[in-house]
Amino acid sequence: MTRTPETLARHELVGLDVRVTVASDPDLLDIEGEVVMETTNTLHVERADRAWQVPKAAATFAFTLPSGETVRIEGERLVARPARRTEHTGDSTWR
């Protein structure tokens, strides 16, 4: 399945460019780079000169799809084990 704005929350996020657009911690605001790892509660974002561990629940993210389209997702929607979130079917908040 192709990553689209409607289905992005159900897809693999590693490899996408991301920017933190809203954060409860002002130090996290405007962090940007590539998602290099994802855990249940965090996204690990790297740039050539720096790396961050950003709590999903404390932020809103703007992901850039390969098509160049930007998709904004509240981190609360991403809080789950990545494997479980991406293979979830049926009636789901990620659908």
**What CATH number should be reported for the domain holding residue 74?**
2.30.30.210
**Residue at 36 is within a domain:** yes
**Residue at 22 is within a domain:** yes
**Residue at 2 is within a domain:** no
**Residue at 59 is within a domain:** yes
Q: How many CA atoms lie within 13 A of 15 on its CB side?
A: 6
Please state the domain count of the chain.
1
Question: Which residues are registered as beta bridge partners of 32?
Answer: 19
Q: Which of 90, 27, 87, 28 is nearest to 61 (CA)?
A: 28
- Tell me how far apart the alpha carbons of residues 20 and 62 are, in angstroms, rounded to a whole number: 6
- Domain of residue 61, residue span: 8-83
**Residue at 93 is within a domain:** no
**Residue at 56 is within a domain:** yes
pLDDT, tens digit, 9 for 90 and up, residues 3-50: 788 888 888 899 999 999 999 999 999 999 999 999 999 999 999 999
**Residue at 57 is within a domain:** yes
What's residue 4's pLDDT? 82
**pTM of the predicted model as reported, rounded to 2 decimal places:** 0.85
Q: Which of 71, 36, 72, 73 is nearest to 53 (CA)?
A: 36
